[in-house]
Amino acid sequence: MQVMQAAFDPVYGEAWNHSQTRSMLAMPLTHTIVAEILPRPPEAQPGEPIGFSMSRRIGDEEELLLIAVIPEWRQFGAGSSLLTQVIENAKDAGVGRIFLEMRSNNPASHLYHKFGFTQVGLRKNYYKGADSKLYDALTLALTL
């Protein structure tokens, strides 16, 4: 939850609260991966969580619900590592496609396009920011 609160810009209201997160984690086939910075030596103390992903598998499809890295650790490859692991786990489970939905002006698109996601849908004015501005939602998909 600390990473969630630090990572999402409150303007867009995209962070999930504790209750939403707990409910999703309790559902079967929801997967969370946590990225940590490990101390040296690694066994000296617990790692520091700096990012996470959460996805849900339904049949042979997976939906990437959330992926986040705290601002101080962005653009060092943690987001790519998380997404690589999501894709590898999905392949191992026989998943055929991964979907996600994102706000159209989210720079996270750089990460998704780097991994080969392409746009398959558009919902006009789907998100409403705290500033009452409306933003389109893009649905992206990656065929594995």
Ligand X SMILES: CC(C)(COP(=O)(O)OP(=O)(O)OC[C@H]1O[C@@H](n2cnc3c(N)ncnc32)[C@H](O)[C@@H]1OP(=O)(O)O)[C@@H](O)C(=O)NCCC(=O)NCCS
133 touches 12 (CB < 8 A): no
Contact letters (x/-) for ligand X, 2-41, by CB under 6 A? -----xx---------------------------------
Beta bridge partners of 122: 138
Q: Which of residues 58-77 bind ligand X (CB under 6 A)?
A: 66-69, 74-77
Determine, following the binding rule CB under 6 A, whether residue 138 of this chain makes contact with ligand X.
Answer: no
Helix (H) or strand (E) holding 114: helix 109-114
What positions carry a catalytic annotation? 101, 112
3-state secondary structure of 79: helix
Token pair for residue 3?
Answer: 């990473």
Determine, following the binding rule CB under 6 A, whether residue 110 of this chain makes contact with ligand X.
Answer: yes
Determine, following the binding rule CB under 6 A, whether residue 107 of this chain makes contact with ligand X.
Answer: yes
Contact letters (x/-) for ligand X, 113-132, by CB under 6 A? -x------------------
Distance CA 128, CA 123 (A): 12
Determine, following the binding rule CB under 6 A, whether residue 102 of this chain makes contact with ligand X.
Answer: yes
73 touches 3 (CB < 8 A): no
Q: Which residues sit at the interface with ligand X, rule CB under 6 A?
A: 7-8, 66-69, 74-80, 102, 106-108, 110-111, 114
